């Protein structure tokens, strides 16, 4: 067993270099100001004050949250029925459907987004709707697969028992199937909301640079303007929001699991 534990050492080194060290650098830049030849680091909270004092930046944050919430709702409305139909199919048909859903994900997301950019050029849609199309297309499979996995684990005897007790299809769905599948819905929400709220290339490519989200702000301040301190502060604010969202989703997932038991 000790020999197997040593196999984790390369991963721990990689995680330290590629994840922990960059995060520590972001925290350092977020709480410091640009130095000079005499003073290298100067601790400050001005980067965070600048974000909240300027009405533009909180507005972009609210727009990002709105975009992520609406995208998640649309994915639930489209993904749950699709997953429910898949779970009702024969095993061979289910395998084919899972393959068809995951097949586009084998292609790089940038390539898929560029493809939608060309397709939407023939459709008269405003900028916001174009971004929604790209968001839903890229994140919908995550919702479908999570809900499908949850539905496929439901014991068929519970559904049979529900019908034997006099429940019709609607009552069986509302009282048996839906509660037992909520854990998959919660997992799907996590996998859709978190990347949607921080996405930057989809609004950039499909919005033509006119629809700016919080991810685009972070990219601009790191790459375009070179203001790493303010960009790090925005990243840290975004990280806190994501951590809070993950905590809420985990709590909901735990509660739904306890209710199902």
Q: Is residue 207 part of a domain?
A: yes
Would you state the pLDDT for residue 207?
Answer: 81
Question: In the predicted model, what is the mean pLDDT of the chain?
Answer: 86
Q: Containing domain of residue 106, as a range?
A: 55-260
Q: Is residue 38 part of a domain?
A: no
Q: Is residue 146 part of a domain?
A: yes
Could you tell me if 204 and 221 are in contact, meaning their C-beta atoms sit under 8 angstroms apart? no
* Total domains present in the chain: 1
pTM of the model: 0.86
For residue 39, pLDDT beyond 60? no
DSSP 28-85: HHHTEE---SS---EE-SHHHHHHHHSSHHHHHHHHHHHHHHHHHHHHHHHHHHHHHH
CATH code for the domain in which residue 245 is found: 1.10.3720.10
Q: Is residue 119 part of a domain?
A: yes
Q: What is the average pLDDT across 14-31?
A: 86
Torsion angle in degrees (nearest 10) through CA of 42, 48, 50, 51? 150
Would you state the pLDDT for residue 245?
Answer: 87
Structure confidence by residue, pLDDT tens digits, 217-250: 888 888 888 888 899 999 999 989 888 988 888 8
Q: Is residue 11 part of a domain?
A: no
Q: Is residue 43 part of a domain?
A: no
Q: Among residues 191, 250, 200, 237, which one has the least CA distance to residue 220?
A: 200
- For residues 217 and 236, what is the distance between their CA atoms, to the nearest angstrom? 13
For residue 1, pLDDT beyond 60? no
**Local confidence band at 142 (pLDDT 50, 70, 90 cut-offs):** very high
For residue 74, pLDDT beyond 90? yes
Q: Is residue 156 part of a domain?
A: yes
Q: Is residue 127 part of a domain?
A: yes
Cα angle 219, 223, 228 (rounded to 5 degrees) comes to 85
């Amino acid at each position: 067993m000790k020999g197997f534990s040593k196999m984790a050492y390369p991963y721990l080194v990689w995680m330290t270099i590629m994840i922990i060290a960059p995060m520590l650098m972001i925290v350092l830049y977020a709480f410091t100001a640009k130095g000079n030849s005499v003073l290298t680091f100067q601790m400050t909270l001005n980067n965070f004050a600048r974000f909240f004092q300027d009405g533009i930046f909180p507005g972009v944050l609210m727009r990002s949250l709105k975009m992520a919430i609406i995208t998640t709702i649309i994915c639930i409305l489209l993904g749950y029925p699709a997953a429910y139909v898949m779970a009702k199919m024969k095993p061979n048909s289910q395998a084919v459907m899972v393959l068809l859903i995951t097949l586009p994900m084998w292609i790089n997301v940038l390539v898929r987004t560029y493809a939608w950019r060309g397709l939407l050029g023939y459709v008269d849609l405003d900028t916001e709707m174009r971004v929604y199309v790209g968001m839903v297309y890229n994140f919908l499979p995550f919702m479908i697969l999570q809900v499908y996995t949850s539905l496929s684990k439901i014991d068929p005897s519970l559904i049979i028992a529900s019908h034997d007790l006099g429940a019709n299809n609607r009552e069986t769905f509302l009282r048996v199937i839906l509660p037992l599948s909520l854990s998959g819905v919660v997992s799907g929400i996590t996998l859709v909301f978190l990347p949607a709220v921080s996405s930057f290339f989809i609004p950039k490519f499909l919005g033509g640079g006119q629809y700016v989200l919080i991810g685009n702000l972070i990219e601009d301040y790191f790459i375009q303007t070179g203001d790493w301190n303010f960009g790090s502060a925005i990243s840290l604010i975004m990280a806190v929001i994501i951590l809070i969202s993950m905590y809420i989703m985990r709590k909901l997932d735990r509660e739904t699991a306890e209710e199902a038991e």
